Amino acid sequence: MKFIVSSSALLKQLSSINGVVTTNPVVPILENFLFEIKDGKLTITASDLQTSMITELDVESKEDGNIAVPAKILMETLKNLPEQPVTFSIDPDTYSIEISSDNGRYKLAGENATDFPKIPSVTNATTVEMSTEVLTSAISNTIFATSNDELRPAMTGVYINLSPTNATFVATDGHRLIRYRRVDIAAPDAASIIIPRKALNLLKSTLPSENLPVTVEFNNSNAYFNFNNIKMICRLIDERFPDYENVIPVDNPNHMTIDRIEFLSSLKRIAIYANKTTHQVRLKLTGSELQVSAEDLDFSNEANERLSCEHNGDDIEIGFNAKFLVEMLNNISSKEVTLKFSAPNRAGLIVPSDKSDNEDILMLVMPVMLNNYV
Amino acid sequence: MEGIRKIIHVDMDAFYASVEQMDFPELKGKPVAVGGNMERGVVAAASYEARKFGVRSAMSGKMAALKCPQLIFVKPRFDRYKEISGQIREIFFEYTDLVEPLSLDEAFLDVTENKVNNPSATLIAQEIRDRIKKEVGLNASAGISYNKFLAKTASDLNKPNGQALILPKDAHDFLEKLPIERFFGIGKVTADKMKQLGIHNGRDLKEFSLQFLTKRFGKSGLHFFNIVRGIHLSEVQPNRIRKSLSAENTFEKDLSKESEWEEELAKIFEELTRRIERTGIKGRTVTLKIKYSDFTIQTRSKSYEQYPEMEVIWETAMELLQQEELKGSVRLLGLGLSNLNLTEEKTLFGKQLWLDFDPLSE
């Protein structure tokens, strides 16, 4: 079998799916790309068994055939070649691959394509349409709050709940929780799935910056994302997501509205002086003044700043992990944010003060205790 | 530290079992085993009534039930034991700040200088035991001597509910007669090795030169040489808190096959399980230790945000083992837990709170 393809066109397609390939896969063949040629079309698959990505491009070829090509060595070769047509010649008996370019010849050992795991296809799927812009924003607004704790598998992914009127994306690590809701995505029948973090990270880095339509299909076990000429298939996390609505406090007598950037910059400075284990910062609200402070008694470090804000409610002092606050405030785009609290041991809420039409975002964060008593 | 020290070792009598008998009077006077059950698990503590039948801690529940058919098994309540242990420690602190807890039920106290200005360690020990009885309701035994090892050995002499003093002038006679397995730092394996050398008691051990002992037992040789001469300089360390819990085994001959590793690791895991059940300790980090025949040591660990169950600890151990490339034959395998529930902050200050999802709430 033989085919000719542009080195840069091939590299571009491979780069978009290469993220799936792990360095130490469960089965060694997964260190390869699967190349399948049919009627002048090259379909390339990469997989780690949980997540697979497929892309295709046109090549010049007289015959059909399949081969598994070592991903790393192929990527490296293409990256270092100047743009030109390259010829792949494959020996169907030995699976040896020879790449010839103007610069020379490169021979590498391929593997039998039939050993490559089968990628599940779509059956009984529910389909939802959205744009790459919406999907990118939903992922980046939630993914940072997912958990790394393998003992709580449901929380290692983003929960997506679809209803006839909206779509809700939720992520939590048990300390904080993000609920991101869009009214411009909906499904005729209610459904909910949990998508693993790795798949979403891959999507985030692969989704094109120009706004294109994405088709999302899912059934009980897998989800399929289709955009450009890339397909991603991932296994869903088959767990019950925690009852997140239960933990969102409804009664928050304290409302503080503050300039987001001012608050964020202050937190970043104060955090430098916080204890490196707890990252605890103290927010003290007195009238319309917010005092942000931190101390690390072990090193006699301390810092203190005063900011003005709008505040409704009684004076309150509450501690939070500065890293969490910074991460959350970074993911909000509005000029001002509103923080809502009730007590130093109850969750605090962060919401953007001005909402955009289609999205609704709510962030929840548990405090770090300032006292030894509740 | 200059001059002769005065060390008290306080050891609660059948602590867990006595707490159960105190809290549940219907258990009083009956053979009680804390931990384990008829089918599985190990006995963490046995009441004196049960010990008469030969029930011992670290014995399997099955064996215990066999020895004493009327044995009553009760579930351990570590929180309660910790609470009582705290009350006892409060009493200690009224006498000295140099308190080194060894576990929930025993501690070393250095009373060379003490807060009550009582020159007699014997009288202090008596007073502490009386107060534990009166204020907490439990019996304690105590050993008094001039170093930790002798104090610990002494507390066993008149157990239960008694105390003993080993004076410097009596120490040498005492140590010469002491059976080798009763020496501090000599476990079953070392004791067996010593017996093979004809060392059955302190007098036998004294016959051997430091050079011989270090050659035979490595670094521990010096410790053995000193201890039999009544020299044990280790100070009472008030801040000593257990940081890890582990089990390991040095193999009689080095293992080169992966199947053997797994088999041995399973045995080590069993021992670790016993230790965990006995102490009630939980840890968030699982560490696998591998010592190769060339004495290079490799460790690998994995941490969890929540304390993993035994099942997860085992899976993690296997995962860590399988991650390892075989680097030649293996001399020792060990498995341990760190980031323990004992060292975690007990104070709320600085504690990151959790969202209270039902049923994930803590």
**What are A293-326's pLDDT values in tens digits?**
998 876 778 899 999 999 998 999 999 999 999 9
Q: Which helix (H) or strand (E) holds A294?
A: strand A289-296
Q: Is B312 on the interface with A (CB under 8 A)?
A: yes
Q: Helix, strand, or coil here: A12?
A: helix
pLDDT above 70: percentage of residues in chain B? 94
Helix axes B121-131, B78-93, angle to 10 degrees: 140
Q: Helix, strand, or coil here: A317?
A: strand
B105 is in an annotated binding site: yes
Read off the DSSP letter of residue B97.
Answer: S
The distance from CA B70 to its chain's CA centroid, rounded to whole angstroms, is 28
Do B99 and B159 have their domain in common? yes
Do B64 and B91 have their domain in common? no
Do B140 and B58 have their domain in common? no
Whole-number pLDDT of residue B326: 67
Domain assignment of residue B25, yes or no: yes
Q: Which helix (H) or strand (E) holds B120?
A: none
Do B134 and B208 have their domain in common? no
Q: State whether B306 and A149 contact (CB < 8 Å).
A: yes
Q: Is B351 on the interface with A (CB under 8 A)?
A: yes
Do B198 and B114 have their domain in common? no
Q: Which domain holds residue B262?
A: 244-340
Q: State whether B350 and A368 contact (CB < 8 Å).
A: yes
Mutate to test the interface with B, among A366, A371, A373, A374 (most CBs of B within 10 A): A366
Lowest model confidence (mean pLDDT) among A242-246, A261-265, A294-298, B104-108: A294-298
Domain assignment of residue B347, yes or no: no
Rounded to the nearest 5°, which phi and psi values hold at A239?
-145, 165
What residues have CB less than 8 Å from A234, skipping those under 6 apart? A50, A51, A52, A195, A196, A198, A199, A222, A223, A225
Q: Which is more confidently placed, B345 or A8?
A: A8
Determine the residue of chain A that is closest to B356 in CA distance.
Answer: A247
Domain assignment of residue B84, yes or no: yes
pLDDT tier at B1 (50, 70, 90 boundaries)? very low
Domain assignment of residue B345, yes or no: no
Lowest model confidence (mean pLDDT) among A189-193, B312-316, B353-357: B353-357
Residue A101: half-sphere exposure toward Cβ, Cα within 13 Å = 17
Residues of A in contact with B351 (CB under 8 A): 278, 368-369
Instruction: Kindly calculate the radius of gyration of chain A based on its CA atoms and give it in whole angstroms.
Output: 25
Q: Cis peptide leading into B359, omega within 30 of 0? A: yes
Active-site entry in B20, B49, B100, B106: B106
B130 is in an annotated binding site: no
| Domain CATH for B36 | 3.40.1170.60
Q: Cis peptide leading into B160, omega within 30 of 0? A: yes
Q: Closest partner residue to A175 among B306, B349, B352, by Cβ?
A: B352
Domain assignment of residue B234, yes or no: no
Q: Dump pLDDT digits (tens) for A149-186.
A: 888 899 999 999 999 999 999 999 999 999 999 999 88
Do B181 and B216 have their domain in common? yes
Mutate to test the interface with B, among A151, A295, A317 (most CBs of B within 10 A): A151
Determine the residue of chain A that is closest to B359 in CA distance.
Answer: A242
Whole-number pLDDT of residue A168: 96
Distance from CA of B323 to the nearest CA of A (A): 10
Query: Which structure tokens are listed for B69?
Result: 């058919």
Number of domain units in chain B: 4
Determine the residue of chain B that is closest to A364 in CA distance.
Answer: B355
d(CA A19, CA A8): 18
d(CA A325, CA A315): 20
pLDDT tier at B345 (50, 70, 90 boundaries)? very low
Identity of the amino acid at B284: R
Domain assignment of residue B1, yes or no: no
Nearest to A68 by CA among A103, A22, A24, A117: A117
Domain assignment of residue B144, yes or no: yes
Q: Dump pLDDT digits (tens) for B45-76.
A: 899 999 999 988 778 888 888 899 999 999 88
Q: Does the structure show a pLDDT above 90 at A251?
A: no
How many CB pairs below 8 A link A and B? 69
d(CA A141, CA A171): 9
Active site residue B106: yes
Residues of B in contact with A369 (CB under 8 A): 348-351, 353
Query: Are B138 and B22 contacting, i.e. CB atoms less than 8 angstroms apart?
Result: yes
Which residues in chain A (215-274) have CB-CB distances under 8 A to chain B?
242-244, 246-247
Query: Are A30 and A69 contacting, i.e. CB atoms less than 8 angstroms apart?
Result: no
Could you tell me the sign of the dihedral formed by the alpha carbons of B128, B130, B136, B138, in that order? positive
**Structural domains for chain A:** 2-115 (3.10.150.10), 126-245 (3.10.150.10), 248-365 (3.10.150.10)
What residues have CB less than 8 Å from B271, skipping those under 6 apart? B247, B249
Whole-number pLDDT of residue B63: 87
Q: State whether A369 and B351 contact (CB < 8 Å).
A: yes
Q: Is B362 on the interface with A (CB under 8 A)?
A: no
CA angle B55, B60, B64 (to 5 degrees): 35
Query: Are A91 and A110 contacting, i.e. CB atoms less than 8 angstroms apart?
Result: no
Mean of all residue pLDDT scores within chain B: 85
Nearest to B10 by CA among B191, B117, B138, B120: B138
Distance from CA of A121 to the nearest CA of B (A): 31
Residues of B in contact with A243 (CB under 8 A): 357-358
d(CA A282, CA A290): 10
Domain assignment of residue B360, yes or no: no
Residues of B in contact with A239 (CB under 8 A): none
| Domain CATH for B118 | 3.30.70.270
Do B62 and B141 have their domain in common? no
Residues of B in contact with A368 (CB under 8 A): 350-353
Read off the DSSP letter of residue A306.
Answer: E
Q: Last residue of some domain: B63, B78, B93?
A: B78
Q: State whether A152 and B360 contact (CB < 8 Å).
A: yes
Q: Helix, strand, or coil here: B101?
A: strand
